Amino acid sequence: MNPELSELLRRVDDLKPEIRSVWAYLVDRDCGTKNKAGVDAIGAAVASFLGKCGFSVRAHEYEEVGNFLVAEKGDTTKPFICLACHLDTVFPDGEAFNRPFTIRDGVVTGPGCLDMKGGVTAMLFALKVLAEKGWSRYPVKVLLTGDEETAHRGSNAGRDLVEESRGGFAGFNFDTSFIDNSIVLGRKGYAVFRVEVDGVGAHAGNNPEDGRSAIIELAHKMLEIDALADHEKGTLVNVGVMQGGTVPNAIPDKASCVVDVRYERSVEMDRIRAAMESLTKKAWIEGTRTRVELKVDVPAMERTEKSEELFERVNRIAVDAGLPEMKPISTGGGSDSVFLSRAGVPTLCGLGAKGEFNHTEREYAIEDSVYERAKLLIAILEEL
């Protein structure tokens, strides 16, 4: 191993008490997505830390959710490295007081300890160690969002992430990692549609001929929706919720359903979107009317040849540095990596703390994995 790199990795071990302290600080603050003040307070602390590492920090400000912070070091008009994290959690106010940061036998618990305060901590201390050395090999842009857990439905952060990522040549997201050291190269896109049908109400016994059943119209269309799935292409379509009618003896004038869609390729989402929109242009039962609304649209992180190449290079760097070998996977579940991918940046995701049970009281992180991930980022930036 490069002697200079070896020295940098040892520095992480020296900093373990400080790393634990910062990790605890981040976990012991309420910062659920709905708590804008809490997320922005965490953001201010992280911005201060990065400022001491030589980064300039600016913000995309939003009214309802935590701001999106962008920290830059070096000339980012040239190709740069993207480092992505999010600052919000899924937990309500009071959770940090009720379940504070705790370490027992090398296992860390507390709200967001895994998702993703551990990853934020690892990234911060890798940058601190490199800043102490005076590292300036590449320009770096750190992207810190405040509403990732709700897929940025309360802000323009998704769009802003894409714009901020353009020009990056490699991306690394420090979201939750896996016990088996898997690294995510692809994530399915996620969409939710709501379909509403207006019919004509009538008494089912006295004048049924005057009615136009919204439920029957919707039933026909739900069968069409179900047929849109293509499992061979990884496209899943599920009519998960259906509502309609009021009483058994009335022809229903209202019916609706909610549709969950998962896909691997953007071309499949284009197909699904067009098919869903076409439902509004036809009727099985004359006199009914259908509306379709796209409620959620989280793009896919497409697994590409460039991301495969980036993984191979990073995996070699890790092994040469004495760190565990990794394995590439594709998975469901969203992350901000999808927006880096949309900007054309080859991206590896899941480089944060290792653990299990995100979003639950059983959430835990393996303490040593945070030190390991800090060392991994140092090795990547030194050797890539």
Instruction: Dump pLDDT digits (tens) for 49-68.
Output: 999 999 999 999 999 999 99
205 and 167 inside one domain = no
Last residue of a domain, one of 243, 268, 298: 298
Q: Give the pLDDT confidence score for residue 365 in this predicted structure.
A: 98
152 and 199 inside one domain = no
307 closest CA partner among 148, 185, 175? 185
204 and 330 inside one domain = no
305 and 291 inside one domain = no
168 and 200 inside one domain = no
Indicate the average pLDDT of the chain: 96
**114 Cβ partners below 8 Å, 6+ apart?**
108, 176, 352, 353, 355, 356, 357, 358, 363, 364, 365
Q: Read off φ and ψ for residue 170, nearest 5 degrees.
A: -160, 140
Last residue of a domain, one of 274, 298, 322: 298
Q: Name the residue range of residue 272's domain.
A: 189-298
152 and 27 inside one domain = yes
* Distance set, CA 13 to CA 4, 6, 9, 138 (Å): 15, 11, 7, 25
**Tally of domains in the chain:** 2
CATH of the domain at 359: 3.40.630.10
82 and 163 inside one domain = yes
214 and 281 inside one domain = yes
CATH of the domain at 289: 3.30.70.360
Helices of type H across the chain: 3-14, 16-27, 36-52, 95-98, 118-133, 157-165, 214-226, 266-278, 305-320, 337-342, 367-383
pLDDT (tens digit per residue) in 122-178: 999 999 999 999 999 999 999 999 999 998 988 999 999 999 999 999 999 999 999
Last residue of a domain, one of 298, 323, 357: 298
149 and 124 inside one domain = yes
8 and 124 inside one domain = yes
pLDDT (tens digit per residue) in 74-106: 999 999 999 999 999 999 999 999 999 999 999
Residue by residue, DSSP assigns 104-130 as: ETTEEESTTIIIIIHHHHHHHHHHHHH
